[in-house]
Chains A and B, each alone.
Chain A
């Protein structure tokens, strides 16, 4: 208990004897503290104190049973208890954020699996998003389609084609009919449009334009008068392996391009 220092007590006494106000207040305070000193604390029995710890232990056991940790399997509980003993912070601050992060990552992984699937689905979804295809590209496809259909449908004749003078052919099987100037125009058109498409964010369309350019270059390089079988076969393979006609069809339908207005195709 703090007492007034010995050297200050004479000063205090002197003031109390002189100042009636302070003396009165001091007297009242002393009287009050005398009254409050009469308050009695209960003296608890020995039996009460002997039972104190067991009562406390019951509450501790109940608290342990309701512990959040009991919701986890035994091996997790063991690990957490080890951390609680050996680490200086509450491991819940680590476990709960870790569990939340795991749930988020798992949700993203499940979502990607269900809704994105493999590469083909990705390509298909890209191909199907055709709402932004430039009308010029659609018109280009419209012009290109008949040419590519002819190449795709070509089958080698059983006998050589007999060519007559004057540019007329005798139909002895399926023949390729392509105008060299028209093909050149298509090649140039494709080249320009490919550059335009390259600036867009449609990777499937970009890839399609590249494949079409390859096909057109093959067609352009083939001799008009004597289209080589191996060239045609190669062009057919390109068309088939890359589903070029199908994809062009999808784009064409999505933009509602007119079937009329095919350019640069002439029958020989």
Chain B
């Protein structure tokens, strides 16, 4: 970890002194991570592209302020979260997206297939959607996805940020608290509120569970400090 941070600091120093190649290397190393965090936060590819590029622009402008107290990745995550919260405050996201009906959203999401098959947020890359699914099953999966996205949009920006960081980015509560500059207790509170809201919004799907998993096994596999 220390070696990585030293490398980060060296890279940042070179980028801060105007070396374009060093900054390009920073972008190449972090672009996917930042893009997918932006996607988890915004729920839209276009907004994720805008947000992630804004993050790197901000990093370019303020590269000299990076003190090396945290890793470069954490610094970029912090910029991403702040940029997302700022955008939400200014309501600059495409509002018409929220007005779309669920059916329209399902239809538009099918355009994603043209970019490649999707992979689960919590599954390693490579376990993409099976191609031997029936159309009905595929449509059902798409529908669930859209409903989850729609439900996430109903959360407040901070609730969504905490839920995304804890659940999809699998970050410890302490790290989330540091990135958002809030206490761990506030993280737990926000996460609890987010889960309660999602339970209501996704109540149609609450009986869905992975088959064969019992309650006791759940405590071993799914138990986590919320």
Contacts and interface: CB of A to CB of B under 8 A. Distances in A.
Interface of A: 1-4, 9, 12-13, 16-17, 23, 26-45, 48-49, 52-53, 55-56, 59-60, 63, 84-85, 88
Interface stretch (B4-12, B98-106, B211-219): B211-219
A35 B45 contact: no
Given A3-B224, A4-B223, A45-B115, A34 B208 contact: yes
Interface string B54-94: 00110011001000000000000000000000000000000
B209 A30 contact: yes
26 contacts: A2-B225, A3-B223, A4-B219, A12-B223, A16-B216, A17-B216, A30-B222, A31-B206, A32-B206, A35-B148, A38-B120, A38-B144, A39-B148, A40-B118, A40-B121, A40-B145, A41-B39, A41-B118, A42-B45, A44-B115, A44-B116, A52-B35, A53-B24, A56-B27, A59-B57, A60-B60
Given A42-B39, A52-B31, A56-B56, A16 B199 contact: no
A104 B8 CA distance: 45
Contacts of A9: 219-220, 223
Contact of A53 (B27, B125, B220): B27
A88 B28 CA distance: 26
Main secondary structure of the interface of B (DSSP, over half): helix
Contacts of A29: 195, 199, 226
Contact of B219 (A13, A36, A63): A13
Contacts of B170: 1
Q: What DSSP secondary structure best describes chain A's contact surface?
A: helix
Nearest to B55: A56
B183 interface: no
A55 B145 CA distance: 29
Given A38-B144, A88-B64, A56 B219 contact: no
A40 B129 contact: yes
Nearest to A43: B116
A16 B172 CA distance: 24
B45 A37 contact: no
Given A9-B223, A31-B206, A52-B35, 10 more contacts: A2-B224, A16-B215, A16-B219, A32-B202, A34-B210, A43-B119, A43-B125, A55-B53, A60-B57, A88-B64
B173 to A, nearest CB: 7
Interface string B151-173: 00000000000000001101011
Nearest to B17: A85
A28 B198 CA distance: 11
B119 A40 contact: yes
The 10 residue pairs across chains A and B that have the minimum distance between CB atoms: A40-B118, A43-B116, A1-B170, A39-B148, A35-B205, A4-B223, A2-B225, A31-B206, A2-B172, A42-B112
Contacts of B172: 1-2
A64 to B, nearest CB: 10
B117 interface: yes
Contacts of A12: 219, 223
A154 to B, nearest CB: 84
Contacts of A45: 115-116
Question: Which of A26, A56, A84 counts the most chain B CB atoms within 10 A?
Answer: A56
Nearest to B116: A43
A9 B219 CA distance: 8
A86 B28 CA distance: 26
B141 A38 contact: yes
